[in-house]
Amino acid sequence: MELTDKYDFEEGTKLTWPLKLLFFFGGLITMSTMLVLLCVFSKETSKFFGICMMITSIVMTRIINNEKLILSVAYPLFFVGQVFTNIFIFVIGNDTWSFNNIIIINVLILTIACFFCRNHFMRQCILLAIFVLVPLTLINKKNQVFYHIFFYYAILLWGVYALTIKYDANRFGKENLYTHYIPTIRFCAALTAIGYAFTSVIFVIMGRIDTIFKTGNVGNGVFESVVCALFTFIVAYKLLSREMKGTKNFIWCIALTLLGCVASCISPNIAIAMLGLVLTYTVLDYFGVAICGLFLIFALSVFYYNLEIMLIYKSYLLMGSGVVFLSIFYFLKKLSK
């Protein structure tokens, strides 16, 4: 059974981007209208429509080489079918199934769809959905520790990102399916990791503790911060060893890296942002660098706001941090000459 993506559309069916959007949204409106009408006139069998639409769309990606049909029929069938399937699962499972069981069923459906699908864009969307839904399988009404689940899942995703760096496209042939999806896996991992890290910060704003400087909670969050800082140092050390080992500046670079990692331990969210920055910079992933940088600024702002110390001491802390990072910047400029 062929698992590779289809790129060889028939001549005369390939479209420009404006026409692609027109065909897609036209098909989406058509399929949504048809689904509503089917549900109205056939309520008894409507619960099977979502699954049938998804199966039809996956089959179309395997047997049809017409881009117009893929855009106007297969894509809308899949996305509308996925929404309707979710509604059906939540309706029938609301009373008898727990929330995490419903999400597990959803993940299984998406995994099967990803395996059989042969359309690159559709597979990318499915992979992103799977990345987002996986931690929700651990959530139920009795388990309210969302912060820890989301935060450790974000660390795990950065581990997946690191594996795509170690096992990059050079280790596999150009025809290997994995090599085609390395950028997609990195994108999904970075976006989902920052998304769940951002969610953990929202829990902080809602009242959860996220700093070792909180009164009466000294030490809370230190373990998570140290884990992220340790991973950051390991990645940075590997990168420096590859680029600068054997030079007279290597020790200085390691010392500055260690100083930066220690400084990031003031908050778990700052530490995980630094980890993401180092990993994404390693492969020059500009999207990853951008979202990690923005999240770092956001996490620093929340950390500063949540400090339960006098404003004058906050100012001293900012000045001290500024001196540290300006010193690192000065030495880096000196070492780069």
Tokens of 78: 């899949």
8's enclosing H/E stretch is none
pLDDT score of 5: 63
Distance CA 200, CA 208 (A): 9
Torsion, Cα of 228, 229, 230, 236 (10° steps): 110
239's enclosing H/E stretch is helix 222-244
Residue numbers in the chain where pLDDT is lower than 50: 1, 208-219
The residues near 289 (Cβ < 8 Å, ≥ 6 apart) are 277, 280, 281
Residue 201's domain comprises: 147-337
Is the Cβ–Cβ distance between 336 and 256 less than 8 Å? no
pLDDT score of 192: 94
Q: Are 117 and 175 contained in the same domain?
A: no
Q: Are 115 and 153 contained in the same domain?
A: no
Distance CA 68, CA 74 (A): 9
Among 143, 169, 191, residue at a domain's last position: 143
For 288-307, what is each residue's pLDDT tens digit?
A: 999 998 998 888 887 777 77
pLDDT score of 147: 63
Q: Are 139 and 240 contained in the same domain?
A: no
The whole-chain average pLDDT of the chain stands at 75
Place of tokens 């509604």: 87
Q: Above pLDDT 90, what percent of the chain? A: 7
Q: Are 189 and 78 contained in the same domain?
A: no
Distance CA 317, CA 320 (A): 5
Q: How does DSSP classify residue 288? A: H
Q: Are 50 and 116 contained in the same domain?
A: yes
Is the sign of the CA dihedral 209, 187, 15, 80 positive or negative?
negative
Q: What's the domain count of the chain?
A: 2
Q: Are 102 and 184 contained in the same domain?
A: no
Q: Compute CA 245 distance to the chain's CA centroid, rounded to the nearest angstrom.
A: 33
Among 107, 126, 143, residue at a domain's last position: 143
For 57-107, what is each residue's pLDDT tens digit?
A: 888 888 887 878 888 888 888 888 877 777 766 665 555 556 677 778 888
pLDDT score of 334: 59
pLDDT score of 142: 53
Q: Are 218 and 329 contained in the same domain?
A: yes
pLDDT score of 186: 93
pLDDT score of 216: 33
